[in-house]
Amino acid sequence: PITPGELLCLGSSLAVSCLFYYLYRKKARIVARIQEAPKLQVDDDLPALVSAADGRCLPYVALEGIVLPAKAALTSHYHEGLQGVIQKLLLKEHRLIWNSLARSW
């Protein structure tokens, strides 16, 4: 005979397993989209390509080209001759949301 406690543990374990499997599949689809992303070169044709796209945005695109550092390139402490740069990304979302407590946008 199975006790109600065992059924509860089995059900919760099954629910958690289903949740993690759903999250795994969701991330796997995102990784597949990133791996299938088209590779574009950074050249003079890139601004025209971006402006011709829907919403002036290219989702999941790999850009290839030469990057020049603003000040000095970062050098690796672990591998000789390996250098890199830091990309600064700033995302501003311009959306107004009504705050009912402050009665403002």
- pTM over 0.75? The answer is no
Beta-carbon-side half-sphere exposure of residue 9 (alpha carbons within 13 Å): 5
Torsion, Cα of 19, 32, 67, 40 (10° steps): -140
Residue 8 above 90 pLDDT? yes
Task: Dump pLDDT digits (tens) for 21-59.
Answer: 999 999 999 899 888 888 888 888 888 888 888 888 887
Compute the mean pLDDT over every residue in the chain, rounded to the nearest whole number.
Answer: 86
The beta strand positions in the chain, using DSSP E, are 39-41, 62-64, 74-75, 83-84
Domain coordinates of the chain in residue numbers?
4-84
Overall average pLDDT of the 93-105 stretch: 74
* Cβ within 8 Å of residue 38, ≥6 positions away: 61, 62
